[in-house]
């Protein structure tokens, strides 16, 4: 019966994800009929040529980015919450998002220190992506170095938070000395954006996310063992340091690539694993992993739809909507007396 119930939930979530994906293509400043959406994405022609252009060149890349972002951040959150045995751990607890922000801040607000031609290239979209990846990678190297010397997982969590605080302090200093134009550019990046990626960028992001998910799948059994603590996991024959290292690599690849391409999207990784646990009422990571994948895609697609204003060119940043939805859920989780997800 539980398997049959889970299968029904998975079917409903899959249908909901497909429905939201289609609605994300149809909904926006220019409303496009659903039948024209299906014709366009299936290789046919929509009733208007402009609708084909909007779907293929803008909305389809944005919807695919939303799915990849939701999946990657949600799985990262599940990995972090199990590794640290902390229901409030998110994919940015290792300081990777802060490292990415620091890299982008150096490029955007420190552009005056870079020679002319190089400055122009670094301020392009690919230059910002490279700076974000580099900042995240440096923090990853530091975390891995620390994790080899510290045995306590909570100590690694605290070190990650300290890296985040250090990066935020430097960003604040750069902000103080930057111009209004530089501040505006950095602020727009920090708000998150799903809609400015080329097909090449989406391909690179998809490869990174797929690689991270493949590594995460290898962690499913270790994650089940880690639920009851480090000592119990070791008693089952788990190589704890290797499992810890693998989980950190998977999370870093997922979070770092998403932050680089879409900006620091908040709350998705923190909230989505709890939604999966609440619906399926299980601690089995074989179930939770795929439930989290579907929930992640659904939540970010829903947030992307809510960002749109029909009949208007105004589009809210994705971070504004994820925070509006995520913050109340986190408060609700904190207020719950039952420690369901400990």
* Topology of the domain comprising 60-275+317-335: ABC transporter involved in vitamin B12 uptake, BtuC (1.10.3470)
Tokens of 297: 């895609």
Count each helix (H run) and each strand (E run) in the chain, helices first.
16, 0
**Predicted pLDDT of residue 2:** 58
For the chain, the 3-state helix, strand and coil shares in percent, each to the nearest 5, are 75, 0, 25
Q: What is the DSSP string of 245-291?
A: HHHHHHHHHHHHHHHHHH----SHHHHHHHHHHHHH----HHHHHHH
**Predicted pLDDT of residue 113:** 58
In whole angstroms, give the CA distance from residue 314 to residue 318: 12
Tokens of 296: 């992640």
Q: Which of 321, 318, 96, 91 is nearest to 189 (CA)?
A: 318
Q: Which of 307, 251, 254, 312 is nearest to 62 (CA)?
A: 307
Structural domain boundaries of the chain? 60-275+317-335
pTM of the model: 0.87
Exposure b/e, 263-298, CB count within 10 A at least 16 = b: bbbbbbbbbbbbbbbeebeeeebebbbbbbbbbbbb
In whole angstroms, give the CA distance from residue 230 to residue 334: 25
Per-residue pLDDT of the chain (342 residues; tens, 9 = 90+): 457 788 899 999 999 999 999 999 988 888 888 888 888 888 788 788 888 888 888 899 999 999 999 999 999 999 988 888 877 777 777 777 888 888 888 887 776 556 555 555 555 667 777 777 788 778 877 877 777 777 677 777 788 888 888 888 988 888 888 888 888 888 888 888 888 788 888 998 999 899 999 999 999 988 888 887 777 777 777 888 888 888 888 888 888 889 888 888 888 988 899 889 888 888 889 999 999 999 999 999 999 998 886 656 777 888 888 888 888 877 776 676 455 444
Contact 312, 35 (CB under 8 A): no
Q: Which residue carries 């900042």 as its tokens?
A: 135
């Amino acid at each position: 019966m539980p398997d049959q119930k889970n299968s029904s939930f998975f079917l409903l979530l899959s249908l909901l994800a497909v429905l939201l994906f289609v609605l994300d293509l149809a909904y926006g400043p220019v409303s496009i009929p659903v039948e024209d959406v299906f014709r366009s994405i299936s290789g046919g022609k929509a009733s208007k040529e402009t609708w084909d252009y909007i779907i293929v060149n803008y909305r389809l890349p944005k919807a695919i980015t939303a799915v990849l972002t939701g999946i990657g951040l949600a799985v990262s959150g599940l990995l972090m919450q199990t590794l640290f045995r902390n229901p409030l751990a998110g994919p940015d607890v290792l300081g990777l998002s802060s490292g990415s922000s620091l890299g982008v801040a150096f490029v955007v607000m420190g552009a005056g220190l870079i020679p002319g031609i190089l400055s122009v290239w670094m301020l392009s979209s690919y230059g910002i992506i490279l700076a974000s990846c580099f900042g995240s990678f440096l923090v990853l190297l530091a975390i891995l170095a620390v994790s080899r010397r510290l045995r306590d997982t909570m100590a690694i969590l605290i070190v990650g938070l300290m890296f985040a605080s250090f990066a935020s302090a430097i960003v604040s200093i750069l902000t103080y000395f930057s111009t209004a134009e530089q501040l505006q550019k950095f602020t727009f990046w920090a708000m998150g954006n799903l809609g400015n990626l080329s097909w090449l960028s989406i391909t690179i992001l998809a490869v990174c996310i797929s690689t991270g998910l493949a590594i995460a799948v290898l962690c499913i059994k270790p994650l089940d063992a880690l639920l009851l603590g480090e000592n119990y996991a070791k008693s089952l024959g788990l190589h704890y340091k290797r499992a810890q290292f693998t989980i950190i690599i998977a999370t870093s690849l997922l979070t770092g690539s998403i932050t680089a391409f879409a900006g620091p999207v908040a709350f998705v990784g923190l909230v989505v694993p709890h939604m999966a646990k609440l619906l399926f009422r299980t601690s089995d990571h074989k179930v939770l992993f795929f439930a989290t994948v579907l929930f992640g895609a659904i939540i970010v697609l829903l947030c992307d739809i809510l960002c749109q204003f029909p009949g208007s060119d105004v589009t809210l940043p994705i971070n504004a909507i994820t925070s509006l939805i995520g913050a109340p859920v986190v408060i609700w989780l904190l207020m719950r007396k039952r420690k369901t997800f400990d």
